[in-house]
Structure 1
Amino acid sequence: MTDKLKDLIEESKEDIQINFLELINELNRIPTQVGKWLTYHQVQRQKMILIETDYKKMVALKTKFYMGKMDDDEREKYGWPLEGTKVLKTDLHMWLDSDDELIKEKHKYKMQEQIVSFIETTINSIQDKKWSIKNYIEWKKWTEGG
């Protein structure tokens, strides 16, 4: 778990809480909180798209490398060895899945994807607060005979 995700989890815990003693304030805070989390979502989603693009570029380069279609100048530019190139097309996925550089890139992408997903879930939870407050008010009326 990244530090960014840990920070977002802590912040989310605060934002999804409902103070039932100050329901009007809670209702007024919802749009501000949603706006804040939508901003987080845009920033992190943009970052995820950039990471995904880098990952896909690396997959294309590694595919070219493992299929033996990369020229020596390009291969040397990345510091990749000459041996191990020209694998069978049927074995390509195995080589790509076990490549350390690709594993690192994929890990970065998956972690960023997790952050974006968490933010989306938090936005939904904050938006659902209004229904929880409404249900609480209805329950209060019912228990007090109103």
Structure 2
Amino acid sequence: MLQNFLLNILLTFVWVALTGQLDYSNFVFGYTMGFFILWMVNRSVKANTEYFYRVPKIFAFIILFFYDLLKANYEVTKDVITPNYNMKPGIVKYQMEAKTDFEITMLANMIALTPGTVVIDLSKDKRSMYIHVMYLANKEEFIRRLSNRIEKKLLEIIR
């Protein structure tokens, strides 16, 4: 997988050098073009195709996370600006599927980066996480959404 990533970066820099424009859109276009070139070449070889499945999952996760981030920012901003408070704070004990320290740290960062949620504590056995939620209308719905929308997709990328 690392070999394909490095080849993709190399093809990206070759594209940037050939066009003579080092800007964001040209870099992204070169990366995308290099990705499809490598995919076409490796499709016939059938060796080490994990990279070609993981990269689209990473981009989908980034888009999903930014959507959740914007939605949470809007909710918190609306609550701060309006005179009445719609907060229903609560603390949730969340049973994690994440096992390693890196997986737990990444999950905690994704939760803490979203406005309205803060990771308070981690159990001693590292199986559950305590989260303070600013808008907790339904505890089961929050846990289900966190599990299906963030943790599972994050673990698909990391593992």
Between Structure 1 and Structure 2, whose CA radius of gyration is higher?
A: 1
Q: Which has the higher contact order (CA 8 A, sep 6+)?
A: 1
TM-score (norm 1): 0.31
TM-score (norm 2): 0.29
Specify which structure has the higher proportion of helix. Answer: 1
Specify which structure has the higher proportion of strand. Answer: 2
